Amino acid sequence: MKRFRRHGHELNRERIKQDLFQFNKTVEHGFPHQPSALAYCSSLQLMAIGSRSGAFKIYGAPEVEIMGLHEENAAVTQIHFLPEPGQLVTLLDDNSLHLWKVRKSPDGLSVLKEESHFDLRGQPGAPPSVTTITVVLPHSSGDVLFLGTEGGCVFVVEHPSLREQEERTITQEAVLQKVPDDYQSKRSLGSVEALEENPRNPHQILIGYSRGLIIMWDLQTSEATHQFLGDLLESVTWQRDGRQIISSHSDGSYCQWPVSNNDRSPQPLENKVPYGPFPCKAIPKILWLTTKQRTPFIIFKGGMPRASYGDRHCISVLHGSKQIAFDFTSRVIDFFVVDEGESKSDCDEPSALLVLAEEELVAIDLKTPSWPVIQSPYLIPLHCSAITCSHHVSNIPIKLWERIIAAGNKQTSHYSTKPWPIDGGYSTASEPPQRDLLLTGHEDGTVRFWDASGVCLKPLYKLGTVGVFVTDADHNDNLNQSGEDEWPPLRKVGSFDPYSDDPRLGIQKIHLCKYSSHLTVAGTAGQVLVLELNDEAADQEVACTLVDILQDQDTFKWKGHERLNPREEPVHFPAGFQPFALVQCQPPAVVTSLALHSEWKLVTFGTSHGFGLYDYQQKRTVVVRCTLHPSDQLALEGPLSRVKSIKKSLRHSFRRIRGSRASGRKRAIPGNNAAKVQEANARMDREALNEMELAPVQRRIEARSADDSFTGFVRSLYFADSFVRDGSYHGPSLWAGTNGGTIFAYAITIPSVERRMEEPVTATQVKEIQLMHRAPVVGIFILDGRGILLPEPLEAAHDLSKSPDMHGNHMLLVISEEQFKIFTLPKVSTKNKLKLTAIDGSRVRKVSVASFNSNRVEDYSENGLLVLTNLGDIQVISVPTLRSQVRYECIRKEDVSGIASCVFTKSGQGFYLISPSEFERFSVSSKWVVEPRCIIDIDDGVGTRASQQKAVQDGAVMKANSQESEHSHQMLSGMTKSEDDVRKTAEIMEHALLNDERVLLEIQSTLESDSALTDRLSFGHLDRNSKNSTGIQTPKQRMINGD
C-alpha cells in the first residue's frame, strides 16, 4: 500500500515540475554575427539581414522580428523582397536560390516558411563559374526572376515554381548580335554586374557587364534598344522618372547617361570622380534620388582616394553644395534609403539612410539639415567594446529606473529626434511584468546599462571609468566630432570601437544594489570603484586606498602589469553614477570576485592572492587576508607571462610522464627503500578507497593536491547575517571561498548608527573549512531556520521579501565544482550533500538562486539553484533537499566562451554570448518567457498564385498535383456548387478515403512528416547554437528528472 501511495506522490510531483519548469531558447539580443546581406521592403516597412551562418531575420517595429534558417550550411549573400507582399528570395554562396513566405502560425503569429529552392545548373562539362549567380532581379510583375551570372548570361526563372525558362535566357551571343559592330569585341563582355528594371516601363531592363557595356533589353522583342559604353562597371541605377541612368565604375567615378528614343548610343552627360584627381577606389553601389527642390541626393559607397584613405569604410552623401563622407569603423556591407515619396510620383523624398556595416547598423536622418544619427531601438552592437563581464538585476524600483533613464537621456542629445524609420508589423506580446537591468562591463572601462525587460535589449545609460585614472585613452565620447572642413569631409559615425588604449581599464566584476543606488565595479588592474547615483553633474576628488593583499611578504614578487594611477585633481563627472571611493589592490591582479552590502556600507573583493574587506563610509580597510600557497608562484606572474609558465608546466608534465614510463619498465631492486615506501603508500591508498562508501553509479574522484597552482584564487564572496560564533547570537559575517576548496568565515562587528563614523568596523576570523577534495568553491549561501535562502541586503527592509527566521538553526550551503554540501551552523557538521561530478562527470561553472512560479497555480512557487555545468547543461537543484529536479541541454560543451559568459536571473532565465555581439536568452521557468510574438499583416493571395505554390513536406520539395491544385483553386474561388452538393461529395470522399488502406497509410505518413515540417517553421526564433547536428532547435528538449 505504501508503494502505491509513493507512486501517486511521484506522479503528482511530475505534474508540479511541468508547471514549474520548461526550457526555451527565446530570443537573441544584440547585433547578428558576421552579417552578409541586407534588403528593404518599402510597402511593408520591413528590413531583412542575412548572415554567414545561413540564418536571416526580418525586422520591423521594435519587438517585431522573425527568423529563418536554411538547412544548408552556407552564407546568405543576397536577400530580395518580392512584389507579392510577404515573399522574399535568398541567395546562398553555394549558388542556391530559396523562396520564403511569411505565413500565420496556428496561434495567429507570423512565421517564416521556406516554400521551395532552386539550383541553377549549367551545361554538362561547363565550369561552375559560368552559372554562378551574381545579381538577382525580381520583376515587378511578380512572375519571373532574372538571374545574372559570372558567365555573362541572364537566366529567367518562374515564380513561384522556381522553374527555369530556358527559351528566355539572354546569352552574351544574343546580346552581341543585337548591338552595333562598334560595341563588339573579341573579348567577352564579362560577368553580369547589374540588372535594373525601368521604373516607368516594366518591359525594359538594364543589363550591365563588368567590362563596361550597359544595354537596355526589351523583353517583348528580345532586342537591345540602347547601348552605353563606359569603364569597368560596378553598378547601375535608374532615376525615378526613367529618363536617366547612373553608373558607377571601378576607378572611383560615376556617369550620368540620358535615355531617349533619339539617341540609342548616347555619350554621358557627366563623368565625375568625386574624390579625384588622384586614383580612387571603386564605387560598388550608387543611388541617385531626385527631390521636389530639383536638387538630387547622390549616395554611394567607397570611391575614396586610394593612397591616403583607401583603408576607410565610407558612405558619401552629396546634396547640392553639401558633401559628407560618413566614416565607419567596420566594413560596409550594404545600404538602402527610406523614401517617403509616393510610388507614382516622379520625385523621391529620401528621409533616412540605413547602413549595414560588419559590426553595426547605423541610420542617418536625411531630413534634418545636419544629418544626425537616429538612435536604433534594436540591433545595438553590444560589442562596441569587447564584453568582459555581465550582471543582471531583476525587478528594479521605479524611482531608480527613472533616474537611470534621465541620466541616459542626457547622453543622447546628439541623436536625431526622428523616430525609427522601420516600423512594419506590430507586437502582440504583453507588457513586461517587471523592470530588469542587464549591466555589461567592457574592455575600455565602460559599464553599459540595458533594459532587459522585453524582446529588445534597449540601451539606457553608459558609465565610463577612464576619467578616474591618468591614461592616454580618449574619453571624449562625442561621436559627432569630425573634420568636415578638410578634404575628404569625413564624419565618424557609429559606436563600434574595438580598440582599447589601455587593457588595464577592463571591467571584470559588477555589483549593483537596487535599493541604495550604490554600484561597485572592479577591473583588470586590481581597481575597485564604489559609485553612487547623482542626478546632477559634479566635480569631486576620488579617495584612493591602497590595499596590500600580500601583507609585505618578501617571498613573493609580482611580475605582471603595473597599477593604474588615479588623478589627484578633482574630476568632472556627468549626471549618473559618480565614484566616491577607490580601492587599489597590490599586486594589481585581476579582481576575481566582488560583493557589496550597502546596508553595512561594506564592499569585499578577491584576487588570485587573497581578499579584503573595505568600509566605504569611513574609507578605510577593515581586514586583508592572503590566501596564497607557497606553490602559487604562477599567480604572481600575471596574464602576460602566463604563456611561458604554461609551456614550462607542459614540459614538466611530459618529463614526468616519460619518467613514470621508464620507471615502470625497471625491475624493483630488493632492499630499495624508496620502492618499499611507494608500494606501502599505494597499498594504503587502495585500502582507503575500498573503505569509502561509493554508490554503484558514482565515480571515484582523485583528491586534488594542495600544490596545484591557483589554490589561493578567491572564487566566491558572501555577506550574511547569521550564527557564526554560537547558536544564541547572530550578527554580520563574511564568507570567502577559494580555488583550493577552503572557506574562511569572519565575524564582523559594526558600530551603531550614531557612532558609525567614529568607531571602526572590525572583523575576526571564526572558522576555516577545508573541503576534502579541494575542489574550487563557486558559491556560498546561508539558509535560515525554515530552509529558505537569506534575502538580499535591504530586501526585507523594503518589504520585498519575508524576514528570515532567526530563531531556528541556520545552514551553510557550499557549492564546489564537484558537489553541493549543507553544513549546520554554528557547529559545522555535514547535514546533506549531492555529488555532481561523481554521478555524471560534470563540473559546476555557474550557480545562482532563482524563484520558479507555477503557470497553473497563481500563488505557488519554489526556490531553487540554477546550475550551469562545463558540459553546457542547465540543472535545477532543490533547496534544502539538494535533489536534481530537471536537466536541459543548453550550450554546446565546446563553446567555452558561451559557458563562461552565462548569467542567470532571479526569475529562472539566463543570457549567454553565442558570438561576440549576441546574447542568447533562455528560460527554465514555464511562466516567465520573453520571446517575440509579432504579426505582419499580409494578404495571403487566396485564389491567385497561392494555390499553385509548392508544398514542403519532410524536408523535400514535392510538386503539387495539377488536378488537386485545380480543385483547390475552384474551392477557394467559390465555384458555383450548392452547399448540399458539396456536403454530399465530402461525405462520399470521406467514406472512400477511410475505407482505403493505401490512403490511410499516406495520411499517416503525411501527419508524421508534419512534425518534421515544424523544423522549417520559425516562430520568431531558431537556435543556431543548439546541440542538434542540423543546427535547428528540436521541438522537444532532453529533460532528465530527479528523484
| Least confident span in 605-609, 663-667, 684-688, 862-866 | 663-667
CA 289 to CA 295: how far, in whole Å?
9
Are the CB atoms for 144 and 136 separated by under 8 Å? no
Residue 1019, pLDDT above cutoff 60: no
Residue 27, pLDDT above cutoff 50: yes
Q: What percentage of residues in the chain have a pLDDT greater than 90?
A: 64
Are the CB atoms for 37 and 335 separated by under 8 Å? no
Residue 1004, pLDDT above cutoff 70: no
Q: What is the overall mean pLDDT for the chain?
A: 83
DSSP string, 796-856: TTTTSSPPP--SS--EEEEEESSEEEEEESSS--EEEEEESHHHHS--EEEEEEEEEE-SS
Residue, of 1004 and 819, whose pLDDT is higher: 819
Residue 307, pLDDT above cutoff 80: yes
**pLDDT, position 441:** 96
* Stretch 613-637: mean pLDDT: 83
Cell of 659: 619518467
pLDDT tens for 224-235 read: 999 999 999 999
How confident is residue 948, by pLDDT bands cut at 50, 70 and 90?
very low
How confident is residue 643, by pLDDT bands cut at 50, 70 and 90?
very low
| Least confident span in 31-35, 486-490, 688-692, 863-867 | 688-692
pLDDT tens for 256-306 read: 999 988 888 899 999 999 998 999 999 999 999 988 888 999 999 999 999
* Stretch 823-842: mean pLDDT: 88
CA 626 to CA 610: how far, in whole Å?
4
Q: What percentage of residues in the chain have a pLDDT greater than 70?
A: 79
- Residue type at position 1026: S
| Least confident span in 468-477, 490-499, 890-899 | 468-477
Cα dihedral 544, 549, 550, 556 sign: negative
Residue, of 823 and 1, whose pLDDT is higher: 823
**pLDDT, position 127:** 81
**pLDDT, position 542:** 92
In terms of Cα–Cα distance, which of 400, 406, 331, 336 is closest to 364?
A: 336
**pLDDT, position 292:** 85
Cα dihedral 998, 999, 1002, 1004 sign: negative
Residue 150, pLDDT above cutoff 60: yes
**pLDDT, position 648:** 54
**pLDDT, position 1029:** 37
How confident is residue 631, by pLDDT bands cut at 50, 70 and 90?
low
How confident is residue 1039, by pLDDT bands cut at 50, 70 and 90?
very low
Residue 696, pLDDT above cutoff 70: no
**pLDDT, position 673:** 52
- 711 contacts: CB under 8 Å, gap ≥ 6: 627, 629, 631, 632, 738, 739, 740, 742, 774
Burial 575-589 (b: 16+ CB within 10 A, else e): bbbbbbbbbbbbbbb
Residue 698, pLDDT above cutoff 90: no
How confident is residue 11, by pLDDT bands cut at 50, 70 and 90?
confident
How confident is residue 6, by pLDDT bands cut at 50, 70 and 90?
low
SS3 content of the chain, % helix, strand, coil (to 5): 15, 40, 45
pLDDT tens for 582-607 read: 999 999 999 999 999 999 999 999 99
Are the CB atoms for 20 and 862 separated by under 8 Å? yes
**pLDDT, position 967:** 40
Tell me, what DSSP letter sits at residue 563? P
CA 118 to CA 104: how far, in whole Å?
24
* Stretch 845-864: mean pLDDT: 92
Angle at 71 between CA 68 and CA 75, to 5 degrees: 75
* Stretch 938-960: mean pLDDT: 37
CA 907 to CA 848: how far, in whole Å?
11
| Least confident span in 282-286, 390-394, 655-659, 1026-1030 | 1026-1030
Strand partners for 119: 96
CA 956 to CA 1016: how far, in whole Å?
11
* Stretch 179-196: mean pLDDT: 79
Residue 94, pLDDT above cutoff 60: yes
In terms of Cα–Cα distance, which of 709, 735, 708 is closest to 720?
A: 735
**pLDDT, position 1025:** 44
Are the CB atoms for 825 and 767 separated by under 8 Å? no
**pLDDT, position 121:** 84
SS3 state of residue 373: strand
Burial 232-270 (b: 16+ CB within 10 A, else e): ebbbbbbbbeeebbbbbbbbbbbbbbebeeeeeebebee
Strand 903-904 with 909-915, pairing? antiparallel
**pLDDT, position 802:** 78
How confident is residue 59, by pLDDT bands cut at 50, 70 and 90?
very high
**Range among 263-267, 565-569, 865-869 rated most confident:** 865-869
| Least confident span in 466-475, 767-776, 1008-1017 | 1008-1017
**pLDDT, position 353:** 97
Residue 1033, pLDDT above cutoff 60: no
**pLDDT, position 840:** 78
SS3 state of residue 684: helix
**pLDDT, position 785:** 85
How confident is residue 814, by pLDDT bands cut at 50, 70 and 90?
very high
* Stretch 745-757: mean pLDDT: 93
pLDDT tens for 488-535 read: 899 999 999 877 778 999 999 999 999 999 999 999 999 999 999 999
Residue, of 677 and 178, whose pLDDT is higher: 178
pLDDT tens for 378-430 read: 999 999 999 999 999 999 999 999 999 999 999 999 999 999 999 999 999 98
In terms of Cα–Cα distance, which of 726, 722, 731, 723 is closest to 751?
A: 731
Record the pTM. Answer: 0.82
